[in-house]
Homo-oligomer: A and B are copies of this chain.
Amino acid sequence: TLPTTLNGNTMLLITMDTASEVENDCKVNKVGHSHSHDSWPLCLVEISLDVDADRDGQVERNNPNKGSWMWGPNGHGAILLVNCDSERTYGKSICEMSDLKDMSPMVLRTSGPAKLPAGYKLTMHISQGDAESVRVFRTRSTSFVKDYPLVLGSEDLSKEVPYLGGNAEMNFYVEGLRFPDIDFEGLISISLSLLEPSSQGFPETPIFTDRVVFRVAPWIMTPNTLNPVEVFICSTSDNYQFLKGMKRLVENSGYKLKVCHEYMNRGDRWMQDEIEFGYIDSPHQRFPVVLDSPRDGELQDFPYDVLLGPDFGYVTRTAYDEEVSSLDSFGNLEVSPPVIVNGKIYPLGRIIIGVAFPTATKGRNMTKVVQDFLWAQKVQEPIALFSDWLLVGHVDEFMTFVPAADKKGFRLLLASPDAGYKLFRGLQKDGHGQAKMFDGLGAEEEITVDEILSDDKLRAENNYVQSCIDWNRDVLKRELGLDDDDIIDLPILFHVMEENRAVAYYPDMVNMIVLGKNLGIPKPFGPKVDGRCALEAEMTSLMEGLGLSCTYIDDFASYHKLLGEVHCGSNVRREPFSFKWWNLEM
């Protein structure tokens, strides 16, 4: 009861430090007041919407930073996965318990009387803008079963949630629906308001709102320096030799080989080009996610029908208004190992794509929808190289990365016509001018070292190719912070076809599969010296210095002649980075 000396200019600040045990268990009595009622009822309810804002996998109690998101090891803010695997069809209710693990837990903690004062209620709500990116489910226990009804989604931006009374916790599960993209930074808010009844006929008004923020986890690619998990290749009617070579390599290396059979691939052998393996990660869950190319060859059903499954996610981008070109195949989408560039650290490496050189009057490009998606993931800031000089137009035709124990932990391998000519001139000088390339592949293929070196047109073509690769070499040095010592030039010649676009002259050794210390390299069928292929010898010698072992795989008829090689015809799912993307300093 307050003193009677209060006048109309006094403001009362009333604080309560314990939640009410019964409704309106405190009152402020008014003395000598003209109004009909002579006390104000008071009721204290503690409400906290809680998430894992400190990123330790547990939902802590009322983290002061839960309403904002900050990058870095000293950062904060909860993380949401796009639930893009397939524990269920896209229904409104959760069927499998395992599906809950893909969602971010969220807890509503309340403390107060058994029920709220008449007319008060709790409402959870999201904004219209966030509604296409998130759904919220809750746990409901009935006497027989637990179920998980949908609380919020695009059809319900706001819903009352029950107030349980006493000290209660209600569990929610938050599901991401969309990856970051050009029109979606990835941040999502969920609010919980206590609504107060108004006088007759007026809407209820919020008197307290608690808010939590999530960031949707980006899709992350895995470079050649990460350990393989499984290798994917296609079986076709004509690639038995290749399949056998690959099988031996993969099994000897100790990894799992998965073969996509012809009923599924319908002759499309370009396993690299239809898909890119990546993953998504959060403190509570992590799983692989395949990015499906808008290329859509005959392999197009494979990622959705075969790869997508429980704890294996799927995402794609569709080019509605754009022409899809060969540059949209994911042989044109690679990622570097971790690098430091002018002091800036990229602990997850940088994505590498190939586009048209901008001074070209007309050129092919990777579609904007895919480029936008890649840039929006943010954590592996992309680099655009110039790949349109190639007939097929993929960056994996002239570059790859291999692990190394020294220096930066890897080397960049580049196709180099200059290195090729140097090797051939050396052979000629040492008296092997009559040694034959393509020996044993049929008379029409064979050509001597002397003939190659005397072909001025081929030399001019390779000068052009070298200048295209050199420009990319400069970009890679600058954007990955590389020195010349970090780069190894491989002896590879090209020739130039229609529209001045280049293809490999013999199997393109840089287009390899990297399985730990074992490399699967297209067998180049180079000129033999003392019975040994001079190109293999040079390649093996270059890689031996790094402790890497080379296996040459005959892909001549079934891949090389169709303008691809070992890398184009395979794909590797790798272990994720141990580095956590949310610890990036942005």
Stretch at the interface among A168-176, A202-210, A328-336: A202-210
A397 and B489 alpha carbons, distance in the complex (Å): 70
Which has the most chain B C-beta neighbours within 10 Å: A199, A209, A358, A461? A358
Residue of B158, B368, B429 touching A358 (CB-CB under 8 A): B158
B471 contacts A198, C-beta separation under 8 Å: no
The reply to whether the CB of A549 lies closer than 8 angstroms to some CB of chain B is: no
User: Do the beta carbons of B202 and A8 come within 8 Å of each other?
Assistant: no
Size of interface on A: residues with Cβ below 8 Å to B: 52
Residues from chain B with a CB closer than 8 A to the CB of A205 are: 389, 464, 467-468, 470-471
Query: Is A157 part of the contact surface with B, judged by Cβ < 8 Å?
Result: yes
- In the assembled complex, which residues on chain B have CB atoms less than 8 Å from the CB atom of A368? 129
A500 within 8 A of B: yes
Instruction: State which of B203, B361, B471 has its C-beta within 8 Å of the C-beta of A360.
Output: B203
CA distance A468 to B361 in the complex (A): 59
Q: Are A500 and B201 in contact (CB under 8 A)?
A: yes
The reply on A517 being an interface residue by CB < 8 A is no
Which residues of B lie under 8 Å from residue A207 when comparing CB positions? Answer: 467, 470-471
Say how far A379's CB is from chain B's closest CB, in angstroms: 16
A355's nearest neighbour on chain B, judged by CB, is B127
Residues of A90-132 whose CB lies within 8 A of B: 123, 125-129
Shortest A572–chain B CB gap in Å is 31
Question: Is A529 an interface residue, CB under 8 A from the partner?
Answer: no
Residue of B nearest to A158 (CB): B359
Q: Which residues of A in the span 411-451 have a Cβ within 8 Å of any Cβ on B?
A: 422, 425-426, 429
B460 lies within 8 A of A199 (CB): yes
User: A141 on the interface (CB 8 Å rule)?
Assistant: no
Interfacial chain B residues near A425, Cβ < 8 Å: 8
Question: Given the complex of chains A and B, what is the CA–CA distance between A471 and B205 in angstroms?
Answer: 8
Beta-carbon contact of B474 and A209 below 8 Å: yes
Closest to A184 in B: B182
A429 contacts B8, CB within 8 Å? yes
Most B Cβ at <10 Å: residue of A196, A202, A359: A359
Please report which residues of chain A, range 188-227, place their CB below 8 angstroms from some CB of chain B when the two chains form the complex: 191, 193, 195-196, 198-209
